[in-house]
Each structure stands twice: as C-alpha cells, then as structure tokens.
Amino acid sequence: MSETAANPRRIPDRLSGRGMAALQSWESLLVVVAIAVFVANTLASPYFLDPYSLSDATYNFTERAMIGFAMALLIISGEIDLSVASIIALASTAMGAAAAAGFGIPVLVVVALVVGLVCGAFNGFLVTRLGLPSIVVTIGTLSLFRGIAFIVLGDQAYTSYPSGFSWFGMGYVFWVVTFELVLFVVFAVIYGIVLHKTNFGRQVTVIGNNPTAALFSGIRVARVKFILFLLTGVMSGIAAVCLTARLGSTRPSIALGWELEVVTMVVLGGVNILGGSGTIPGVVLGAMIMGMVTFGLGLLNVPGTVMSIFTGILLIAVIALPIVWRRVRTRMRT
Amino acid sequence: MKAFRKIVMAAAVSAMAIGAAHAADKTKIALVVKSLGNGFFEAAHEGADEAAKKLGDVQVIYTGPTDTTAEGQIQVLNTLIAQHVDAIAISANDKDAVVPTLKKAMQRGIDVISWDSAVAPAGREMHLNPSSNELIGQTLVKLAQQALPDGKGKIAILSASATATNQNTWIAAMKDQLKDHPDIDLVTTVYGDDLSDKSYREAEGLMKSYPDLKAIVAPTSVGIVAAAQAVEDAGKTGQINVTGLGLPSEMAGHVKTGASKSFALWNPIDLGYAATMIAYQLATDKAEAKDGATIDIGRLGSVKLDSDNEGVMGEPFVFNADNIDKYAKMY
C-alpha cells in the first residue's frame, strides 16, 4: 500500500493495523471476487453445485496453475518465461516417443521431467550467462521447442500410452478429489513456503525490486534466476505429464497458447508484471477465479468468443478496481 | 467440515433433481464443432435447428472452442457433461485427444456420435461420414456427363498430387463408373499438386494437347478453381466444362461466367441435420448404433452402419447457378 506516495498531502497519524492491512490487500479483494463468481455461478446454473461438475471444473486451471506458481516466482524476480507451453509440447512428444518404444510409466515421467529441466536450463543459460533479455530468449525458444515437436511428429500423433497412465490426468485420489487437484494443492503449499518463508524467496523478491542492490548485498543473482528457470521448466514437464495423461495422446499442437493463460493467471493473482511483488495465495485465487469463470460461462453455453472478451474484461477490472478505489478514496479525504 | 459437506451434497442432489426435471422436458443435443465463427459449422447449426424443429421436443446446444484445439474442445465437453445433455455430436479437432473425455461422457449416460471429422472408435458410438468414395466417384461421372453434348466426348482429370490418397481413391471409383459409360472417353489424368499455378499450367496443357476436350474433372478444391480460371482465360467457356469438388465461395464467380455448370461437395446443412436426427434417436433409444443398423435421417433417407459403426449420409451435394449464391455466403 502506498497511499502516501499517491497523495503527499495526506500524512498518516498512525500505521494501519495488521487486520486493516489484510482487509485492504489484493488477496482479500480476490477472495471477494471468487465468492461472487461462485455465488453467481450457483444462481445462474443448476448444474454448477454438483461435486463431479466442480471436480471437472478444476481441470480448467490445475495444470496451468502448477506452471503459474513457478512463473510467479520468475516474474517476481523480474524475468519471464514464454516458452512454457512449448516445453509441454516437447516433453509430451518425448514421452510419446518413449511410450512408443515400450517404456513404462516411471520412465515416461522421468523423461518429461528431464526434458523440462533441460529446456529450463537452456533458457536460464541464455538469460543468465549470456545476459540476453528473457522475453526475447523465451519467445525464441517458444518457437524452437514446439518446432522440434513438429519436426518429430508432423501431422501424426503418439497414442500408445500404457493403460494406467491416464490416472495422472483423470484419476481420483479419493471421492471427487483428482490427482491433479492434490498436486495443485501440494505445489501451492511448497511454493508458498519457498516464496514467503525462506531466504531464497526473500532473495527472489529483492532481485525483482532492485537487481543491482541485490547483487551488491551479496545475493548471487544469476544463480537464483537460473534456478527459477529450471523450476518453470520442471513444472512445465509435470504439467506435460498431467495433460498428456488426460488427453491420452500427443500432438505437436498440444497446449497451444497456454503461456499467455499462465501469465494472465499470475497477473490476475496480483503479481506485479514488472517484478518485485506478489504472493502465492494470490496466484491460487487468480487461478481458481479464471477456472470458475470459464466453467460457469461454459455451463450457460456462452460461446467461447464472448467468453474470452469476458475474461479480458475481468482481468482489466480486477487490476483497475483497487487503483480507481484508491483515487476515489484520496479524493474524498482531501 | 461435516456440515459443509452435507450442505454441498444436499445442494448437489437438488441440482441433479432440477437437472432431471429439465431433461424430461426436452432432449438436449449438443452440436460440438471444431471452432466457432466458421461458416461451414454455422451452416451445420442451421441444419441442426431444422432437425430440432421437425422433431419438436429437442433443444440444440451449438458450441465449440474459439480456436481449433483439442484442449478447448475438452473444456467445452466437460461443461456439457456437467449439464447432463442427452447426446453429443462432435466434429473433432483431434481424433485421439477427446477420447478419454468422451468415454467419461458415455459412462455418465450421454450418447456420443462424431460427424464430419471422426473420433477414434473408442470415443464414440458411431461416426457419420458426409459421403463415400463410391458415391463421390458416381457423382463426379454424373456431373461430367450431364454437361457433355449428347452425353459423349472426351474428358480429363486434374488431380492433386499423384500420391494423394483421397483423390486416388475417388479417381479409381470414377474409372469404375466409367466402365458403364463407353461414350465418355477419359483421355488422361494430370497432377497439379494442389498448387494454383501448377494446376493452372496443367489445365492449359490439357486444352492444347486435346483441342476437342469437353470437360475437366478436378476432385480438389484448388484444382477446380485453377482449371476454371484457365478455361476462362483461354476463351473456351462454353466449350469446356469444369466440374469436380470445390468450395462454393471460391467457385461462385466461375459458375456465374459459365466455366463451371455444376460441381459438388458435402452440404453442411444436411450434415448438421443428419447428425442431430441420429443423436436424437440414440438418446431416446429409438435407434441403436451397431453393425448393420439402419438409422432414419428424415428428409435425407437413412444411414446404414458398417462393422466400424460408420455410416454414410449420401451423395455429395451439387451446386449450380440456382443455389450457388446461398452457399457461397457460408463456406
């Protein structure tokens, strides 16, 4: 909160208490939006509040949100990775080739993780060792990684996955709780702890705020950023396992355009696109809102074209609302 | 926590009850297309609505993703499953990727068929093909013959590439048909590789080599346009008729000049109509999708299923000066 910066004439007589700060935070706004979306969906469609429907609805965000957590850290550090969807395509293609060669499920998972790691390392190397801007590097690798998948597969598809493999994409752990949902929660907790409770997370935020100051205060900036690229790569590999298992097949066009959906989720979750701030609970809420809005509109059979307009407006509205609100409030006080 | 679960369960049960009540009113058929905003599929929607009107107690849900991705289609399918639609008729973006989701739909009692672009057999009860190779061959010969003076003369085929599977099958079917038409002389088959300029040059070559050529049959949407253009440019409109398979929007101009008297392709209105008719009968248990079954498709006759549970709607639809304007606007 930087009311003082926005309006120098207002001199605060006391710092607002912890509770007040929490109430005014981005996350509480998102909670309100999430509840509003949930209630609106329930009222609008009789089918929304069905355990199986809600379970199906989670597929609208789980895979993308897993990448979103790693992307959040990367964006907070002031970098970005636009090649994540292409890493999915490449990892999925490698898995398909391994499955076609007769390897079992553990090998497939390892293959996807290794491909993710290698792609992440490649991005990280170009950005941190050669000092190239990450947006340029990852736009390049966006074409490169998917290009390799297209060369390997052309207009063909890998479909010979082992029978138990689909569990990663459609299996239930208990009742209607899917494996993907459990994975989503586990990663949310891990990334939340890493960002908010560890030295490493602190360093990520500091780097995003001022990389030069971070460097001079003894943080190994390049190393931290390299690790973050590895993380987005590995998370894309994990998402590739889930998505491939869910589709039961691999085509080079898999997950086309997901990089922007991941970035949208992260930004909606309150991560500053310029780096320096953001929270994991925010990303969780952002992902769930995106998922619920698209699923709710789908239940009403709103055409996808209208839906994308709607999500665009939602994004702008959620970001503009606090800024407008702050302006209005300061105007009322003067 | 327990109380919350109870509330959710109660709400879910009541929601399902409402859902069931809805379903009792009307049979809900979802027409899932590759992408929205495509004239071909808008026309199929028109046909589906026509079928719904004829059937009476049917609600058609026309839906699809914004771009032709399997993930987008799966997202749409999940919302349809949640709505407990009675049947899904899909033109698939990816014949394999939608299978797991469609299997889930069938497990939950939804009848699933594919049309236009097929789904792998595991993910659907049956597939509706717009036409068959034999019927296409038959139609092409018929169109060529209709425009020949006295029904006899020399014709040539302008195909895509020499290795194009579809075109070769259709040409073989044509040759089969031609055995019964000794008056029609198929002089040669040339290949334009589905490139406009190469097809154009091949058509020019045909006119030079066979000055008394009466018709060019091009079973490819690129070739037919190039051939019609070549005939017009050579000033042979009226002497040589161009026919084959093509898109109405691309051929409208050449039909107007007279270079092409008629040509054929699938009619998306009929496809949407037939898919809806079949989906309705499967959903209401008036028909069953199995080997050898015959399913009624209203004004279009009936569809007979083969051992792969695939059926054929009928002959390709013929476009001529009378109807070209209507279809040129669609696709």
Identify the pLDDT of residue A6: 52
- The pTM assigned to this predicted structure is 0.79
Nearest chain A residue (CA) to B120: A159
Residues in chain B, overall count: 331
3-state secondary structure of A207: helix
Measured distance CA(B186)–CA(B174) in Å, rounded = 10
Torsion, Cα A89 A90 A96 A99, to 10 degrees, reads -140
Question: Chain B window 159-178: which residues touch A at a Cβ cutoff of 8 Å?
Answer: none
The DSSP secondary structure of B161-181, one letter per residue, reads: -TT-HHHHHHHHHHHHHHTT-
- What's the pLDDT score for residue B309? 87
Residue A145's contacts (CB-CB under 8 Å, 6 or more residues apart) are A83, A86, A87, A89, A90, A119
Q: Of all residues in chain A, what percent carry a pLDDT higher than 70?
A: 93
Contact at CB, B66 and A256, closer than 8 angstroms: no
Residues A213 and A92 sit within 8 Å (Cβ to Cβ): no
CB within 8 Å: A299 and B96:
no
Residues in chain A with CB shorter than 8 Å from the CB of B12 are 49-51
Which residues in chain B touch residue A48, judged by CB atoms under 8 angstroms apart? 15, 82
Q: What number is the average pLDDT over the span A287-301?
A: 90
Residue numbers of B between 5 and 44 with CB closer than 8 Å to A = 8-9, 11-12, 15-16, 18-19, 22, 36-37
Domains of chain A, residue spans: 54-328
Contact with chain B for residue A315, Cβ under 8 A: no
Q: Cα separations (Å) of B233 from B14, B65, B201, B237?
A: 70, 42, 12, 9
Q: Where does residue B285 fall: left (phi above 0), alpha (psi -120 to 50 degrees), or beta otherwise? A: left
Q: Cβ-count burial of B319 within 10 angstroms (0-12 exposed, 13-18 middle, 19+ buried)?
A: buried
User: Are B69 and A56 a contacting pair at CB < 8 A?
Assistant: no
From chain A, pick out residues whose CB is under 8 angstroms from the CB of B16: 50
Predicted local confidence at residue B85, as pLDDT: 94
- For A49, nearest residue in chain B (alpha carbons): B12
Is A51 near chain B, with CB under 8 Å?
A: yes
The pLDDT of residue B15 is: 46
> Can you tell me the distance from the alpha carbon of A322 to that of A334, in angstroms, rounded to the nearest whole number?
18
pLDDT band at A65 (very low <50, low <70, confident <90, very high): very high
Q: In Å, how far is B121's CA from the nearest CA of chain A?
A: 13
Note the CATH architecture for domain A54-328: Orthogonal Bundle (1.10)
Q: What are phi and psi of B27, to 5 degrees?
A: -80, 120
Quote the strand ranges of chain B, DSSP E: 27-32, 58-63, 87-90, 111-115, 126-129, 153-159, 184-191, 213-218, 241-244, 262-265, 294-296, 302-304, 310-312, 317-320
Distance CA B262, CA B260 (A): 6
Distance between A262 CA and the closest CA of chain B, angstroms = 15
How many Å apart are CA B66 and CA B69, to the nearest integer?
A: 8
Q: Do A295 and B79 touch (CB under 8 A)?
A: yes
* CATH numbers and ranges of domains, chain B: 2-131+268-314 (3.40.50.2300), 133-265 (3.40.50.2300)
Q: Give the separation between CA A203 and CA A201, rounded to whole angstroms.
A: 5
Tokens of A330: 């300061």
Burial of B231 (0-12, 13-18, 19+ CB in 10 A): buried
* Residues of B in Cβ contact (< 8 Å) with A93: none
Exposed/middle/buried for residue A125 (C-beta within 10 Å: 0-12, 13-18, 19+): middle
Q: Residue B8: list chain A partners with CB under 8 A.
A: 49, 51
Look up the ipTM and state it.
0.79
Average pLDDT over residues A139-164: 92
Residue A101: φ, ψ to 5°: -80, 0
DSSP for B1-55 reads: -HHHHHHHHHHHHHHHHHHHHHHHHSEEEEEE-S-SS-HHHHHHHHHHHHHHHHH
Contact B12 A50 (CB under 8 A): yes
Are residues A47 and B61, on separate chains, in Cβ contact within 8 Å?
no
Is B96–A51 a contact, with Cβ atoms under 8 angstroms apart?
A: no
Q: Give yes or no for B69 touching A (CB within 8 A).
A: yes
Give the DSSP H/E element, type plus range, for residue A177.
Answer: strand A177-178
pLDDT by residue for chain B (331 residues), tens only, comes to: 445 555 544 444 444 444 444 445 789 999 999 888 777 888 899 999 999 999 988 999 999 988 888 888 999 999 999 999 999 999 988 888 999 999 999 999 999 999 988 899 999 999 998 888 888 888 899 888 887 877 788 899 998 887 777 788 889 889 988 888 888 888 999 998 888 888 999 999 999 999 889 899 998 888 899 999 999 998 888 888 999 988 888 888 898 888 898 998 888 899 999 999 999 999 998 888 888 888 888 888 888 888 888 888 888 888 888 888 888 887 7
Of the ranges A34-43, A257-266, B155-164, which one carries the lowest mean pLDDT score?
B155-164
Q: Which residues pair with B97 in a beta bridge?
A: none
In this structure, are residues B155 and B217 in contact, taking their beta carbons and an 8 Å threshold?
yes
Which of B19, B36, B104 has the CB atom closest to A305's CB atom? B36
Residue-wise pLDDT tens digits, A210-243: 999 999 999 999 999 999 999 999 999 999 999 9
Q: What is the reported pLDDT for B177?
A: 87
CB contact under 8 A, B96 and A249: yes
Range of A32-46, A105-119, B259-273 with top mean pLDDT = A105-119
Q: Which of B146, B36, B241 has the alpha carbon at shortest distance from B251? A: B241
